[in-house]
A and B are shown apart, each in its own frame.
Chain A
Amino acid sequence: MIDLEFIINTVSLGSLYALLSLGLVFVYGILKLVNFAYGEYIMVAGYAMHVIGQNRGIPWYVTMAVAVLFAAVVSYGTELVAFRPVRTKSLTAMLVTSFAVSVFLQNVVLITISPRARAVPLPAFFSQTLTLGTATIPVRNLVIIGTTIVLLIGLTFVMKRTVLGIAMRAAADKFTTTRLMGVPANLVISATFIISGLLAGVVAIFWVGRSASVDPLIGAAPLLIAFIATVMGGMHSQIGAVIGGFVYGLLFNILSIMLPATMISYRDAFMFVIVILFLLFRPEGIWRGGYTEERVG
């Protein structure tokens, strides 16, 4: 059962979830806010692909690049318009704001496009498979793994080698002290939302790629997965989020092959049980340490 096919598919699923969780944790690290609108950044990227895809003349990579950028722009926009004005208020105010942003974005597409699912055209290789020995592997899964490797290396570089990255790490630890160094609060927070949006956009390509369609509520499931994965991996560091994503992918695939066919539909319930166990016995997640709890003041 644990063959090459299983390994590649699990690594691929874990990669996708790692990117997903990372996007959520970037914002959490700085604002200590679980951004409930995060799933909607994925949704808007999906709709961007739908809209641009109507025009057959535009190559798929342009469509995808624009969709990813669009998610980043929407994420940045929500920071400017919705989160910034309430930033120094209570954490509850921030949470309520993120719910509001989430509902607002859903309704925008519901009204302007349609409440029903819309098709997203994808390049042919998204539905092709590759045969390696006895294993049949979707090309898409290999692309996910490759994309994740490139993104993780790129993000590591940004966080470790650029001044903005160093400032973002410092701000996640001690926000006020970082400002005392002369680092503008707005710069750090905007950068976080933009990176979070970029990650959501990349995830959207592959998430939407499964069903080749997008609907207004498509963001709910990935938000939940990102949340569960970060609880398991550790909310307080980016490494924790990546670990959480991979662990989620692994557990999910193990459950898929272990559970009898009649219980497959309860897979999610099993994942919730695992999360509850984590919250009870290791609330800080697999990867301890990382940031403190200081909030933006």
Chain B
Amino acid sequence: MLKVQDLYASYGAITALHGVSLEIAEGEIVALLGVNGAGKSTTLKSITGVLRPVKGSITFLGEEIANRSPESTVKKGISLVPEGRDIFGSLTVEENLRLGAYANYERARYKTDLEEMFQLFPILKERFHQAGGLLSGGEQQMLAIARALMSRPKLLMLDEPSLGLSPAMTDQIFDLISGLHQRGTTILLVEQNAERALEIVDRAYLLATGSLEFSGTPDELKRKVDIASVYLGGDDNDHCEVHL
């Protein structure tokens, strides 16, 4: 469904990605792991078109999408739950969800989509008319996910959805992501919390300082890589040991 090949991306003089390649098939749930600063968010930014890749190709459903604008990639069916949630704090929950539906809005199904979100996240129904900024961290994360789902994405990408959440809330969010996958959503999950992520994904990629260190099933990854170093970040933030 999504194929990233030899992707290079940079912020001015700093090259953040050095030839990253990854692939996701329809219906899969795939993790992209790595310590802080490895280039996970940069990969997602390149896929969504927020960042123009320096080199490389990104194809989605057979179509080249590198250098597309963010507004066109979401219309094609790629939806991002951004790092740090990025909900619109001064807008109500309702308005946040309405904008989520902007890309592929159809009047006839909007109401049913909303009802579906209320089923997944009952709290959003309660908070419907409140400003997004007044929600708790976990509720904001739910809103961010619901907002992304409102565009009916073919591929849902989540950037560190558990960041800053309590363990209980983290469990809830992971259960939810797992549930979304079971309903047939294709998911690319970016996480620092490798241990939790590996429990729910089919395959995983491991990024370190802008290049792929490993790719394979969670079992293979656990056997070959010291997960603790990924999870905790280790002493040096840009390196994780691979025992081959």
Interface residues of A, Cβ cutoff 8 Å to B: 163, 166-167, 169-170, 173-174, 176-185, 289-291
* Residues on the A chain within 8 Å of B105, using CB: 163
Could you list 7 further interchain pairs (A-B, Cβ under 8 angstroms) beyond the known A177-B88, A179-B71?
A166-B99, A170-B88, A170-B91, A173-B89, A177-B86, A178-B99, A182-B75
Q: Which 9 A-B pairs have the closest CB atoms?
A: A182-B103, A179-B70, A182-B74, A181-B99, A177-B86, A170-B88, A182-B102, A181-B102, A166-B95
A179-B50 Cα distance, complex, nearest whole Å: 9
Known A-B contacts A173-B89, A174-B86, A182-B104; A166 and B74 likewise in contact (beta carbons under 8 Å) = no
How many chain B residues touch A (Cβ–Cβ < 8 Å)? Answer: 24
Known A-B contacts A166-B95, A170-B91, A177-B86; A183 and B80 likewise in contact (beta carbons under 8 Å) = no
Asked if B100 is an interface residue, CB under 8 A from chain A, the answer is yes
A167-B99 Cα distance, complex, nearest whole Å: 7
Cβ-neighbour of B80 out of A167, A178, A180, A289 (below 8 A):
A180
A146 to chain B, nearest CB (A): 30
A163-B94 Cα distance, complex, nearest whole Å: 12
Asked if B82 is an interface residue, CB under 8 A from chain A, the answer is yes
A176-B70 Cα distance, complex, nearest whole Å: 8
Within 8 A of A (CB), among B74-116: 74-75, 80, 82, 86, 88-91, 95, 98-100, 102-105
Q: Are A180 and B82 in contact (CB under 8 A)?
A: yes
Asked if B69 is an interface residue, CB under 8 A from chain A, the answer is yes
Specify the chain B residue showing the minimal Cβ separation from A176.
B50
A291-B104 Cα distance, complex, nearest whole Å: 27
A178-B103 Cα distance, complex, nearest whole Å: 11
Q: Are A163 and B102 in contact (CB under 8 A)?
A: yes
A184-B74 Cα distance, complex, nearest whole Å: 11
Q: Are A177 and B102 in contact (CB under 8 A)?
A: no
Q: Are A181 and B82 in contact (CB under 8 A)?
A: no
List 22 A-B residue pairs with CB atoms under 8 Å apart, sorted by A's residue number.
Answer: A163-B102, A166-B95, A166-B98, A166-B99, A167-B102, A169-B88, A169-B90, A169-B91, A170-B95, A170-B99, A173-B90, A174-B88, A178-B88, A179-B70, A180-B70, A181-B99, A181-B100, A182-B75, A182-B102, A182-B104, A183-B71, A183-B102
